[in-house]
Amino acid sequence: MATTKARLLFRTALATGLVAVSVCAVAFTGIRHPRTDPLGDPDAYYVLASRGGSDALENLADWSDPNKPLMVSVTETRMKMPIYQDLCAVTDRPIICVEPPLPSTQGEARNLGRLAHKHGWRSVAVISHRSHLTRARILMKRCFDGEVRMVARNVEHGPRTWGRALVYESVALVKTLATPRC
């Protein structure tokens, strides 16, 4: 009888360990090496309120068409940064600075859906940091029926930064999958 309990305990521990390793491998792949898309020729650009978004704004002229709408997600914290203040004051190109209804990627996705519908956009290039892309893609596609191109900015460097990103994005991805709505 004791050996039967021991075998059952061993099998349960082994199965739990294999599931945990599998989940970690999938999370690592989706977060460290997410699917990215070429920038292409979208109807509009959407820069998320993230480290990658801030980085993208630093050299905006190098990658964006000044005649296309640029939607910039701004939070209270980001609006204190000079680059956001300057950009949101620009009047010589179509820039839409918008605060998400929720201070989250889900709130940013809701803004995309609302503004894309209002402006008739059929394709949008979404710019953020690499570890954010998998989760952001899921949320953007839930709220916008058009083509979503996810463009990575490589601003994460070093094992400590990637470790934090892996933990944070893994937990946030579970939340995203558990709440399947826009």
Best CATH choice for the domain 33-178 from the list 2.60.220, 1.25.40, 1.20.58, 3.40.50 = 3.40.50
pLDDT attached to residue 115: 96
Q: What is the pTM of this model?
A: 0.84
Residues 115, 144: Cα–Cα separation, whole Å:
10
Number of H helices, E strands in the chain: 7, 5
Domain residue extents for the chain: 33-178
- Residue 10's CB is within 10 A of a number of other CB atoms, namely 10
Q: Token digits for 52?
A: 């990658």
Q: Name the strand (E) or helix (H) holding 58.
A: helix 51-58
Average pLDDT across each block of 10 residues of the chain; the chain has 182 residues. List them in order: 69 59 61 87 95 90 94 92 91 91 92 96 96 95 97 87 87 91 91
DSSP state of 59: T
